[in-house]
């Protein structure tokens, strides 16, 4: 999966978990006798004498000479197995001891990210087909079915698990029924249409056109709001007019004289206006 993205390919398998499998933490070792082995009860008594007499060591037979032993903690397990050998003092027997091969813990947790797909051929416009075809991008988790209904006007949105969400961009080539298609891909990192890592919440799906129209209607001012806006504008104009300084009669005469070519400020004669005789 994900091999269409540079350096982001990985192999994956989908299986149902095994029922009854223990998921708890266990500190198990395996002891091996060179000669005649002790019984499980004798082995349990030996470890009670060595480590903890109250602990249930859960000894059982693995083979003719091997017995698994469950330690109470990681520290006691390491102490008992660090030399590879252990002396049992009651029966004066030396045994080999090693940590048991337990189920490994996951070493990698793949992040999830929403991806926009454009140029997808019509023959793939079904959820099951998209989930099967788009493994070249990553491990498909879900398809935004609302975007699938609006694929003529918007990109299709799918959520993937992948190794490097920031590398999902550009185009990938997919062959459908012998014909190649270039599909544009863009990861929504950090939000819708931008670019997250997967661990963030999934972006909200696009809304229906009807919902968009309803939201637009909600933003349209009502008649009362229009009236309030008109009153506020009128109040602002009245306030500006009241604050404007009024011209005195003397000021008006000086302005008229200046326009007609009278004496200006400082006693200088103003130039006559064009057309005056």
Whether 156 and 53 share a structural domain: no
User: Which structure tokens are listed for 51?
Assistant: 């480590």
Same domain, 85 and 182: no
- 90 & 181 share domain: no
Helix ranges (H only) for the chain are: 40-50, 74-81, 127-133, 145-149, 209-219, 223-243, 249-260
pLDDT by residue, tens only, the chain of 277 residues: 988 998 999 998 888 877 766 556 678 999 999 989 999 999 999 999 888 889 999 899 988 999 999 999 888 888 888 889 999 999 999 999 998 886 667 788 999 999 999 999 999 999 999 999 999 999 999 999 999 999 889 999 999 999 999 999 999 999 999 999 999 999 998 754 444 444 444 445 445 454 444 444 444 445 565 556 555 556 666 676 676 655 555 555 555 554 555 544 444 444 455 554 4
Q: In this structure, is the dihedral angle defined by the CA atoms of residues 169, 171, 146 and 134, taken in order, positive or negative?
A: negative
**Domain co-membership, 55 together with 86:** yes
- Ramachandran sector of residue 107 (left: φ over 0; alpha: ψ -120 to 50; beta: rest): alpha
Among 218, 234, 250, where does a domain finish?
Answer: 234
Residue 115 and residue 95 share a domain: no
What's the number of domains the chain is made of? 2
Kind plus residue range of the DSSP H or E element containing 97: strand 93-99
Residue 215 lies in a domain: yes
Q: Looking at the structure, do residues 78 and 140 belong to the same domain, yes or no?
A: no
Contacts of 209 (CB under 8 A, 6+ apart): none
| Domain shared by 79 and 131, yes or no | no
121 in a structural domain: yes
Residue numbers of the domain that contains 92 = 28-99
The enclosing domain of 88 has a CATH number of 3.30.70
Domain final residue, candidates 99, 121, 153? 99
| pTM > 0.75 | no
**Domain membership flag for residue 105:** no
């Amino acid at each position: 999966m994900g091999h269409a993205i540079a350096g982001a390919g990985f192999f994956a398998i989908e299986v149902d978990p095994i029922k009854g499998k223990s998921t708890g933490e266990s500190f198990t070792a395996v002891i091996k006798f060179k000669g005649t082995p002790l019984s499980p009860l004798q082995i349990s008594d030996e470890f009670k004498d060595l480590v903890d007499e109250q602990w249930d060591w859960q000894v059982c037979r693995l083979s003719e000479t091997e017995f698994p032993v469950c330690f109470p903690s990681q520290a006691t397990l390491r102490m008992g197995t660090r030399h590879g050998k252990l002396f049992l003092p009651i029966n004066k027997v030396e045994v080999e001891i090693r940590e048991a091969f337990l189920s490994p813990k996951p070493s990698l947790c793949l992040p999830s990210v929403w991806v926009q797909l454009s140029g997808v051929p019509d023959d793939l416009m079904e959820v099951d087909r998209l989930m099967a075809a788009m493994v070249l991008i990553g491990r498909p988790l879900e398809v935004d079915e609302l975007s699938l209904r609006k694929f003529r006007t918007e990109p299709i949105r799918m959520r993937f698990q992948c190794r490097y969400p920031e590398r999902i961009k550009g185009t990938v080539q997919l062959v459908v029924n012998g014909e190649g298609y270039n599909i544009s891909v863009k990861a929504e990192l950090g939000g819708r249409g931008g670019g997250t890592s997967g661990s963030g919440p999934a972006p909200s799906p696009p809304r229906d056109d009807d919902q968009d129209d309803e939201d637009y209607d909600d933003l349209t001012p009502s008649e009362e709001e229009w009236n309030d806006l008109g009153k506020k504008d009128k109040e602002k104009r009245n306030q500006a007019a009241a604050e404007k300084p009024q011209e005195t009669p003397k000021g008006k005469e000086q302005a008229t004289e200046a326009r007609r070519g009278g004496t200006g400020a400082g006693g200088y004669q103003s130039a006559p206006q064009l057309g005056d005789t």
